[in-house]
Structure formats: C-alpha cells, structure tokens
Structure 1
Amino acid sequence: MTETPTSPPTAATWDVLSPEQGLSLRTAAANLREQFDGVFGQETIERFLFSSFDQFATTATVNRFLPLMAERFARQRLQALAKVEGLHDDGKPTVLFLCVHNAGRSQMAMGFFTDLAGDAAVAWSGGSEPGIQVNPAAVAAMAERGIDISSEFPKPWTDETVRAADVVITMGCGDACPIFPGKRYEEWVLDDPAGEDLTAVRPIRDEIERRVRALLAELAVPVAH
C-alpha cells in the first residue's frame, strides 16, 4: 500500500535527481498543474509526484521511464483524491482491480474494462506486492484480442484509490487486500497466470473478459463493442 504523502518536497529533493530526471519531473509537474488547476496547488501536486517517483525508484530496472511512470501514477492518485474530497467527480462508475503483483489478472481486467467501457467508466488497478513488470504472456494474450497493455506497469493500491472506487474487485490477494467499511467488494477466483505460457493464460483471459462484461452490465455501462 502507498500512504497519502504528507511532507512536501524541498529544493534538496530536486538536487538528488539526475539532470534528465529533474527536467522530466519538472515537465510532469507542469502537466499535472495544468490538469488540476483550481483543484490542487503546486505543493500537493509535487508531493504526490515525488512520492510516486520514490515508489518506483527502488524497483525499476529502466530508470529512463521513471518520470513517466511517476506522472501517470500521481495523476491517478490525484484524480482519486479529488473524488474522495468532493473537489471533482464526473459521476462515472469507478472500478479498482486488485491482485497480488498487479502483473497479470488485474492488468487484463483493467484492459478489458477500459476497452469495453471507453469514456463511460473508469478503471484502475493495483497490487498488494507489485511486481517488476506486467506478465509477457498476459500482454501477448491481450494483444490477441486487440488490446495493448504493454505500456502498463505494476503499482500498489493506495488509500485514495480504494476510497474513490465504487467497486473493488479482488483476485487472490486475501487478507492483504484493503477493506473499507461500506465499500462494494467482489472476489474473483481465478487461476494465477504468473509463470504460465500463452496457452495457459488464454482461458484465464477469456474468463476475465466474461466477468468484466457482466460487471459492466450490472453497472449499466454500455459496452463499445
């Protein structure tokens, strides 16, 4: 889990970055300030951006992608916080898919949900123990269905994303999955695709699609195709 950050970054925080990372993060901060103008101030945005950057810095194998990952993760968290605090809510149903490593089942579920719902609903995903990369067999299986999840990356669940979700779908994370009173939860019992080849992942993928379509029907979200 990632807690909501409380301490703002200081000038020294920028100094520990490489020049390339510093430039990229400043660009990311500018992008987020533009998107959340009138919702959050610069201090809050930079606090979330840096805590997101720190989250991936300890495990990333390719550092040049760190600022982009941090920006995307910070954006998701800020969107969730805005909804939780009543600062912005577009009324779209929001679903959070959780598994252990956020590398297979939850990524495929988010991929199907986003593809089928389009702009009519929002999907996030996370893991109790995020892995290093999305399972290549899951990426290949989704590509067969015309859905590209190759640019996704494992990330933790956070307090604000759980609190902002209308439905939380858990897949095998057991007691490590967050429980908030009054929240709608569903446990999807699915085989874990970790370490499996494409042939073994296909039926898992197909079952996930079936469940996602049923969930969208329950939420009265029209599917794109």
Structure 2
Amino acid sequence: MSDPSEQPEDLDTRVLQRTVTHLADRYAGIFPPELVERVVFESYATLARTAKVRTYLAPVAGHFAADRLAALAHAKDRDASGIPQVLFVGRHDTGLAQIAAALLAHHATDTAVVRSAGILPGPAVDAVVLEALAARGVEVGQVYPKPLTDDVVRAADWVITFGPRDAVVVYEHTVHQHWDVADLQDAAPERVQAVVDDLDHRVRALCADLRA
C-alpha cells in the first residue's frame, strides 16, 4: 500500500488529470494514454516523498512527468532530433549536479537537452547554489531535486556523475564521465566560487565536445 502522504489532494488530482489529457494529446500515437497517466501520477508520488511544501507539487510533478516522457520519446527514436541529451547525476541533486546542468544549459542554449537527477533526492536545491548561479547571471528557472529514473538514463547520450562513481548503470550508447569535484556542503563562499569555476571550465569543454 502506498504512503497516504503520497496521495494527491482533490485539487491536485484535477491538476494532474488535466496534465494527463494535455500530455496524452501531445504524445498521441507515440505513447498510450495509460502510460502517460502512470508516469504523471508516479511522478507526483515520487516527488511527494521528499517535498516539504506541497503547494505547487502538482504543477511541478506535471513538469517532471513531461520531461520524463520527452526522455522516453527520445530513447524510442534517438535519431529524430539529433540534439545530444546530457544527464548530470549527484547524490541528492541539490548541489553540483544542479550547478553543472544550469551552466551547460546556459552555454549550450538550444544545442543540448540538459537534465539533472539525484540518487537520493533532497527536499530543495541548496540556497548557496542559487546564489552562485545568480552571481554569474545564469537563469535557472524552476529547479528542484529530481529522482534518478531509468527513462532519463536511457535517453542520455552523456551521463556525468558526481559522488559515487558506479551509482548509475549506463547504456552502451552512452558516454560516461565521472567528475571528481569537491562537495559544497558547509563550504566557505570563496570555496564555493572555486568549485563553480572548476565546473564552468569542465562544462565549457563538454559543450565544445557536444558541438563537435
């Protein structure tokens, strides 16, 4: 039996059902409506396990489900877009993976699809991460820790891991790199800046590889 805290409220259920209808229309002929519904409600339940604030949980879950379905569609027809897909994986998706993903999205613009995920996703992105990115003029939009799911791993052309090196089982078509970067937990401001500089250097090199 699922945890009652993962069950949607009536209002959330209506929002999720509208999301199901919208995404089922978008992926008509690609995915059956039953799969779309399962992904939407599964995404809600997954995020509910770590969410401290549930006010916007249903819309966030809809965004997460839409991204997972996009990943599934890419994995199903990998040659359709030709745009490389990059996944950054951290322990909690609250620090290094979020910074690297935001920097790559900033530098690569529309030449790559960028995602981040956590092995044990935390409740929120670290405030120091948002401050460090804002100081560089990097737009982050709606960011939140996301669980690592097989659909995003399967879709990825590149997987970049932080922390545990073997935490992700990548597929044959995937390029895997492990970036040994210092953790940001309890780091002093100058140390945070040095880590972001390191990540920015690595991301720029990766961006050049993707474009090549």
Query: Considering the TM-score relative to the shorter chain, is it more than 0.5?
Result: yes
Identity score, percent: 34
Give the number of the structure with larger relative contact order, counting CA–CA contacts within 8 Å between residues 6 or more apart: 1
CA contact (8 A) 1:82 1:89 kept: no
The CA distance in 2 between the partners of 1:34 and 1:112, in whole Å, is 32
| Cα distance in 1 for residues equivalent to 2:68 and 2:23 | 11
Contact 2:106–2:139 (8 Å) recurs in 1: no
For structure 1, which runs of at least 5 residues remain unmatched after alignment?
Answer: 1-15
Residue among 77, 94, 115 paired with 1:124: 115
Q: Aligned-pair RMSD on alpha carbons?
A: 1.8
- What's 2:191 paired with? 200
Provide the secondary structure at the position in 2 that maps to 1:64. Answer: coil
Q: Count matched residues.
A: 206
Matches within 5 A, 1:6-155: 17-86=8-77, 89-149=80-140, 151-155=142-146
Report the secondary structure of 2:44's partner residue: helix
Cα distance in 2 for residues equivalent to 1:75 and 1:24: 14
Could you list the runs of 4 or more consecutive aligned residues of structure 1 that deviate by over 6 angstroms after TM superposition?
Answer: none
Structure 1 counterpart of 2:67, which letter?
Answer: Q
SS state at 2:211 partner: coil
Q: TM-score, normalised by structure 2?
A: 0.89
Question: In 1, distance between residues paired with 2:148 and 2:169?
Answer: 8
Whichever residue aligns with residue 144 of structure 1, its letter is A
Decide whether aligned partners of structure 1 residues 91 and 182 sit closer, same or farther in structure 2, where only a CA change above 3 A counts: closer
The Cα of 1:117 is off from its aligned counterpart by 1.2
**Normalising to structure 1: TM-score of the pair?**
0.85
For residues 136 and 146 of structure 1, the distance between their equivalents in structure 2, rounded to whole angstroms, comes to 15
